[in-house]
Structures are given as C-alpha cells and as structure tokens.
C-alpha cells in the first residue's frame, strides 16, 4: 500500500495545477486521470511484493503488543482520546508545513547560489538540439525537491508544444519530490516498514504518468492543447 497510496489530491491537481497554474480545467482533468491510473498500475505491479508465507509467530507477538496499546473508548475517556487525536493531527500538519518551508528555502538557496543557472548552461546544448526551452531541465531539478515550486516554474514556460509541459508536469506529480519523501519517511520511520517500496513505486508512477498522459493526448483531441 505504501508504494501507491500516497498521491496528490484531486483538489491540488484540478485546482492548483489545472486552474491556477495552467488556467485550464481540462488540463487538470487530464492530469488527474493519468495520475490515478498510474497509481492503480503501480499497485497492481506491487501486488506480489515479497510474497511469502507469513511469519505467524512474529505476527502474533506484534498483534499482542498492538492490542496492549489499544485504549477502549468510554464516556469517561472520550474527551481525552479526542484531544490526543486533534493534537496528533495538528502535529502532522505542522510537520508537513515545516518540510515545505524547509525545501522552499533550499530552492531559494539553489537559485541565489547560481546552481540553477549552471544546470541551464550544462543542458543548453541538449535543449538546443531538441529545440526545447532551457528552463525545462532546471524546473525538473527544482521540482524534484519541492513539487509546487517546480510546477510553478514549469507551467510558466512559454512553448507551442504545451503537451510536453503537461507530460513533464504529470511526471513530477507522479514522483512527488524529495520534500514529500521526507514527510513520508518521518512517519514510516516510526514503524518497521521499509521505505524501499515507496521509492520504487513513486519512480514507476512518474514513468507511467508520462506514458498515460501521452496516450490520452494522442487519442482524445479534447486533451490536445498544442498551438
């Protein structure tokens, strides 16, 4: 489940990406469809991940430990449990917001230090050969750190073949970025789950998102936004 259940919300894809960044709700619909189909595809691929006979002894011990930590809800402790739930939710929100701020600052440092300009210089011959804007490699680089900033830069690139921008946007939505990776890691580290399925799953989802977006653009004229 870790490999495919962490995805961008429909509100973010339709509202932020489609309407706010691209000024087109249909682009948001296209990204939403490809995003969730790719997630389902990754889930199908991972259905046999480390399939083996369960360790019943280990599972029984773990279940007994978890049961000892369970707290039955009664009229007396309902307020206490509800308060703890709210505190945990607020902590999670602050945790996510903290990572976003941290990586936004990191992106600002990369911009001001000239590293982004260096990337554009390095990839300029490649971009000129394929006749694509030099901003694309740098936007993908920044988007791999924090997805919102990367998508903002990517959506502002002026190009007639906007399908390329949409496909790359779909890729960034699929992989999520390093910021989201650390958000997930901060939660997974408290359990015995391995982060490896998440990393592999997000890379696969990014690739499948590109493929499905390209297929939808090619098959359905309503999703072809090229000038």
**Residue 65: per-residue pLDDT:** 45
CB-hemisphere CA count at 13 Å for 188? Answer: 17
**Residue 183: per-residue pLDDT:** 87
Q: Where are the alpha helices (DSSP H) in the chain?
A: 10-11, 25-45, 56-69, 78-112, 115-130, 135-143, 147-155, 162-175, 178-188, 196-219
Residue 43 has pLDDT above 60, yes or no: yes
| Residue found under tokens 């890379």 | 203
Q: Is the dihedral of CA 140, 145, 147, 151 positive or negative?
A: negative
Query: What gap in Å lies between CA 117 and CA 97, rounded to an integer?
Result: 28
Question: What average pLDDT does the segment 185-191 reach?
Answer: 85
Query: What gap in Å lies between CA 183 and CA 92, rounded to an integer?
Result: 9
Question: What average pLDDT does the segment 212-221 reach?
Answer: 93
**Residue 70: per-residue pLDDT:** 58
Contact call for residues 198 and 188 (beta carbons, < 8 A): yes
**Residue 75: per-residue pLDDT:** 62
Residue 194 has pLDDT above 90, yes or no: no
**Position 42 confidence tier, pLDDT thresholds 50, 70, 90:** very high
Comparing 170 with 226, which gets the higher pLDDT? 170
**Residue 222: per-residue pLDDT:** 85
Q: What is the pLDDT of residues 49-104, one digit of tens each?
A: 776 655 544 544 444 444 555 567 666 677 888 888 898 889 888 888 888 889 88
- How many C-beta atoms surround the C-beta of residue 165 within 10 A? 23
144, two tokens: 């791999």
**Dihedral (Cα; 170, 171, 177, 181), 10-degree rounding:** 100
- How many C-beta atoms surround the C-beta of residue 141 within 10 A? 18
**Residue 215: per-residue pLDDT:** 95
**Residue 89: per-residue pLDDT:** 87
Question: What average pLDDT does the segment 12-26 reach?
Answer: 93
- How many C-beta atoms surround the C-beta of residue 144 within 10 A? 18
Query: What gap in Å lies between CA 98 and CA 108, rounded to an integer?
Result: 15
Domain boundaries, the chain: 10-52+108-223
Q: What is the pLDDT of residues 108-166, one digit of tens each?
A: 898 888 898 999 999 999 999 988 898 999 999 999 988 988 899 899 988 888 999 99
């Amino acid at each position: 489940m870790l490999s495919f259940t962490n995805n961008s919300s429909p509100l973010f894809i339709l509202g932020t990406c489609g309407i706010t960044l691209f000024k087109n709700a249909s682009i948001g619909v296209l990204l939403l469809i490809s995003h969730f189909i790719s997630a389902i595809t990754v889930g199908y691929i991972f259905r046999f991940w480390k399939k083996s006979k369960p360790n019943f002894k280990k599972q029984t011990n773990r279940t007994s430990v978890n049961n000892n930590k369970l707290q039955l809800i009664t009229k007396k402790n309902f307020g206490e449990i509800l308060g703890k739930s709210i505190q945990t939710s607020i902590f999670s929100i602050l945790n996510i917001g903290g990572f976003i701020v941290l990586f936004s600052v990191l992106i600002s440092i990369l911009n001001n230090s000239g590293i982004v300009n260096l990337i554009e210089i390095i990839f300029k011959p490649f971009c000129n050969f394929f006749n694509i804007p030099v901003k694309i490699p740098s936007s993908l680089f920044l988007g791999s750190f924090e997805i919102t900033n990367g998508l903002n830069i990517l959506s502002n690139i002026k190009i007639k073949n906007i399908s390329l921008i949409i496909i790359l946007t779909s890729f960034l939505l699929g992989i999520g970025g390093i910021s989201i990776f650390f958000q997930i890691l901060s939660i997974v580290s408290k359990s015995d789950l391995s982060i490896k399925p998440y990393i592999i799953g997000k890379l696969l989802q990014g690739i499948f998102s590109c493929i499905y977006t390209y297929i939808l653009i090619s098959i359905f004229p309503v999703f072809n936004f090229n000038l």
